[in-house]
Structure 1
C-alpha cells in the first residue's frame, strides 16, 4: 500500500488528503448522531417497557381494590348478615336463605374477572357458598378445589377457622373442577377476608377469592410477547404472586434475591428501577405503594436494541456508501485538480536546469518561478516601453523618407510603435532652429537639444496626433494629419496655425525658426514625397534668408529644373520591387504631373527628365532585384525603344505598361515566395499539432516573422484564419484516432495538443457539431 501511495505525485496526494479530511468531518458528525440515535432508541424501548409494566401494575392494584370493596359490600349484605349473625332457623340447612345468598353472589361474579371464582364459609351452617352452588359440607368444596400442598384439615384450620384481614396467600396450584369430574391444576393466589371486618379471634364468616395467575399475568403479557422477556410479581415478603415467561426455580431465585436487596436497603415505594442483569437482560422493577408488591420484568438487551440495530444497519450502509462515493469523488477531483498543476510543474522543470534534483513544496516552487516570470515580464515590458520612443522615431523617419511601401507593412510597423494613424491625408514639414551656423561644440549641441525639446513640446500641445522626430541637430521633421472633409481648407488652417506657433515659440522661448512644408498627401505612402518637397522648400528658405513658413508651391515658380529627387526614384524602384503596381503608377503619374503640367520645362529639361526616368528602369538589372535574364533583356529592350520625341501621352502609356508588367513579374515571384512560406507553415503545423504549446507565437518564432504578418499572409493565401486551421488539423487527427484506435478521450486529447479533455470536447463539438463519444458511436454503427 505504501509503495502504491508513493507512486502518486505529491500534489495529487495533498489534494486527496484534503478531500479525505473534508469527507471525515461529516462522518464524525454522523457517528455522534448515530450514537445519540442508539441511546434514544434504547431509552424509548426502556420507557415503553416501564409504561407497560406500570400499566399492568395499576390494573392489578385496581382490581385488587375492587376485590376489597367486594368484601366490604358483603360485610353489610343483609342476607349474609342473617346467615352469619342470626340464630339458626328450624330449617337445619336454611335452604332458602342459602339459595338466595347464592343467587346474590352470582351477580358479583360478572362485575370483575377477579371475582369469577370465590367462596364464603359460614360457620353457623358449616356451609360454603360459591357463585355457582352451595356446599353444605366443606369437604365437598375442598374435594373440588384442592389446594396444592395442603390437606383438608390444614386447609380447614388455616383458612376457615383463622381470622384474616386482606390476607393474600401467594401463588399455589388449585385442583379445580372443570367439566364435571375433571380436575385441573390452576395456579392462583387467594385473597382472604374474615367477617365481620373487625373480628379478630372468632370470625363469623370467611371470604376467599381465588385469582388465577393467567388473569393477572395477562396484563404483562405484552412485555413477554414483544421483547421475549419475563415478568414476576412478589409480595412484600418476597413470595411469588405470579410469574410469566420464567422458570419456577429462576423465579424463586429472583424473588429471594430481590427480597435480600430490599432488606439491605430501605427503598422508596413506587420508585422505578432499571439495572443491567447478569444474563444479558435489563431488569426493570417497580415497588407498589399500595401493598408493597414488587413488579419485575426481565427484558433482553437485544430485544430493546431492535430499533437501534435497524438504525445501526442503515447508518452503517449509508456510511460505507458515503465513504466509497466520497473516496471515488476525492480521487477524481484530486486527479482533475492536480493534473494541470503537475503539467505546469513539468513544463517549468523542463525549462529550468539550474536545480533539476531540487525537492520541495510544489506550490512554493511554482510561486517563486511565476514571480520570477512576472518580474522578468515586467522588466521586458519596461525595456520594450523604453524602446518605444526609438521605434516611434524609426517609424516616422521611414515614413518620411518613403521606406514604407505597402499598407500591410504600414499597419504592422505602426502598431509595433504604438502609433495610431487616424487619417491618411496630411502635410509633411521640416522645422529649422535658426542662429546656429556651426553646431559642433558640446555647448551648442546641448542648447540645440533644449531648443528642439521646447519646440516639440509646443507642437505636441498644438496637435497631439502630430508625428514628430528629430532631423539632425537643428531640425525637426513632422507629419501633420489633416481632416478628411475639405483638404484645401485644412491645409490653409494648418499653415496659418504653424505661423502662429512660430511666433509663440519666439515670444515665449526666444527661439527663431523656419518651416518648410511640402504639398499635401492623400495616402500615407506619399508622405515621403511631401517630405522631400518640404526639404526643398526649407533649402529654398535658407537660401533666401527667410525666417517664416515657406511652402513648396512657392519655390516652383522660381525653379526651371525638372523635378525628380533621388527619394522619389528610390520609392519608385522599391515599390516596383515589392510588386505594388497601383503605388508605382501613382508615383509615376505624380512625376509626370509635377514636371509636365505644373512646371513649364524647356524641351531640353523635358528630354533630360525622360532620360532620368529611363535610367531608373534600367537600374533593374542590379543584382538586388534578382530578375530572370530573359525578362531583364526584354525589359531593357522595351526601355531603350522609348523615344524622347514621342508625345507625352505615348510616353506615359509606355512607362505605365512597363511598370505594370515589371510589377506583375515581381508580384508573381513574391506570391511564389509567400506560397512557400505558407507551405512551410502548414508543414510545421502538421508535424507539431500534438504539442500543447503550439501557438501563433511559436509558429512566428519558427518562421522568424511577426505574428501579425504570418496571420495576415496565411489568411490571404488560404482564406482561413491561422488559429482555425491549427484547430481543424488537431480535430482531423483526433477523428482518425477515434475511428482507428481504442484510446480514451483523455489520451486522444493529450495526443492532439489539448491541455484537458474538457477543452478538447468543446473544440471537437465546435468543429464537428457533435461530441467525440457520439462521433465514435456513429462510426461504430456505420461500420
Structure 2
C-alpha cells in the first residue's frame, strides 16, 4: 500500500505541475497565433493575388498577341486593302479568313467572343458568322449603355491602339453580363484616322473573376480590379458602391500591401505592366478561426489530460504496466526512440490514435455525403464531352463510384411536358418534385441507368448495354430500353399525371462518344416538338437524310484531343467510325467525298502546325503523306492511309512524353544524389524541387524505374553508408547522421533491411 500510494502521489503531483505548463503555453500560443495567422494569411493572400495577376496579364498578353497574328495574316491584309467595285464582294476571302481565325477561341477563354470589322466592306467577321451590316451584329451583341450610333463612332470608326474599355453592362444574345473590351486597329503601324480594320475582343467579366476565385473560395472574402483611371475591371463579393467608398476613404492607404479596413484585411497590389490595381478582402473572423480553435483545443486537452492522468496513476499504482510497455516498445521500434519517459509516450499513443480515428470517421462521413454531388458532376462532365481520354473517364468514374456494365449503350433524354416557358418559384418546385419522382420510378423498374438533371424539366439517362460484348445486339438493346421507358411513361401518367417524352441518340461504342449521343438525343427531342406525336423517338427514326458528308465539329475536336493525348487505338477507331458513317449510311457524290477527305487532311495539317510536331524530324514526311492522300481512292484505302498517319502522329507524342518523363526522373535522381544527407529530405521536398505534385512524381518515378522514390532514397543512403563503413574515420552514429538518418537505431534497421547484416557486422567483415 505504501508503494502504491507513493506512486499514485508522484504521478498525481507530476501531472498537476505539468498541467500548468501547457495551460500557460496554450494561452501564449493563442496570443501568438493571432499574429502568426495574420502574417501567414497575408503572405498566402499576396502570393495567390500575385499569381492571379500574372495569369490575367498573361491572358491579356495572349489577346494582344492574337491581334498581332491577325495583323500578319496575308488573307486578312488582302481583304483590308481591297477596293470594292460596285456590289461585288470577296465572299470566298471573307469565308477563308473566318475559317483561319476560328481556332483561336479554343486556346484562350478570353477569345471566346471577338470580331473583326472591315471598313471597306462595312462587314463584321465573328466566330462562325459574317455580318454584312453592323446593325445586325448590334442586335445580338451590344453594350446596354451605348446606342448604335455611339457604338459605331466609339468602337468601329475610331483608331485604337491596344485600348481597353472598362467594365460595361453587355447583352450577349439574351444573356445579360458585364464585359471588358480590348480594341486594336489594323494595320498596327496606323496612328490616326479611320483604320482599314478593327479587332475587338469582348472579355466576359466572369472569366476574369474566375482567376480570383481561389481567394473567395478559401477565405470567403471579396476581390476587386480597377484600371489606372480607377474604372472597375472586375469585382466579386463586393458591390460598386462599396469599392468606390473604399478608394475615396482618407483613412485607407492605397500604397500599403495589407491593412485592416472595417472588419476586413485588405490586400492591395499594383501591376507594373498596365497600372491595374488588384485588391482582395479577407474577413477578420476567418483570420481568427485557427486561433480560436487553438484556444478551444487548449482547454479540451488540458481537461482530458487531467482525467487521463488520474486514471493512469491508479492503473500504474495497482496494476502492472506490461500492456503499456509493450505499446511503448512498438513505438520505440518504429520511431527509433532510445528512452521512455512514461507519461509523454502514453499521451502520444492515447491522444494521437483517438484523434486519428475521429478524423478518419469524419472524413469517411464527409466523403459519403459528397458522393452524390461528385457523381452528378461526373455525369454532367461526361455528357458535356469534357473528358479527353478513356483513362481519364475511368479514373473520374472510380472517384464518383459510377459503374458501367459496358462501354456501349445509348443516351436518353426525358422531358416533363407542359411547363415550357413557365419559370415561377411554384413551377420550379413542382418540376423538382416531378424529376425526383421520375428518377425513383425508373430505378424501381429495375434499371441501372445513370441519371442527371439537365435544366429544370429534363433528365438525361445513360443506358449501358445489359449484355456482354460478344452477345451485344443493337436492335435487342433498343427493344429493352424502349419497353422500360414505355412502362415509365405509362406509370408516370397513370399515378402522377406526369406527361413525359423520351428521345434517344445513336449507339455509342465507347464512353468518349456519350456526349455525341447526348447531343443526338437533344436534337431528336427538338424534332419531336413539331414533327412527331410519339412519346419515344429514336435519332435514327427522326434523322433526315442529306446529301452532305458526316464530320461534325465536335468529332474533329475530339479527334485532335485524342491524338494530342497519344491514344492510337481510340484515334484510329474514330477515323474508322467517320469513314463507315459516310460509306455505310450515305452515298456521297464525288464532290462531297473530296470535301470530306479535304476536311480530314485539314485536321491532320492543323496538328502538324503545333509545336509538338514542328520540332519533330518526321514533320515534313508526315506532311507529304497527308497531302498525298487522294480522294479518288476507295474508302478502304483512304481509311488505311489516314489511320497510318494518325498512328505516326500518336507515336511522335508518345516519344516526346517518354523522353520528357526520363528527363524528369534523371533530375530527381540528381537532386537525391546531392541532398541525400538531409534528414528532412521528403517526397514533398523532392516534388517542390521538381515543381510538380507529389503524387505525379511518385507514379512517374515508379513507372520509369520500377522502384519507389523512398526505396531509391534508402538505397542511395545505404550505398554511401557502406563506403564510409569501409573506413574507420567515423563511428556508426556519425555515419547515420551524415547519410540523413535522425537516429542510429533507424539507420541500423534500414541497413540490415537492405544489406542483410548490421552495420557493425558489415564493418567487421570488411576488416576480415
Q: TM-score, normalised by structure 1?
A: 0.48
Q: Decide which structure has the larger Cα Rg and report it.
A: 1
TM-score when normalising by structure 2:
0.48
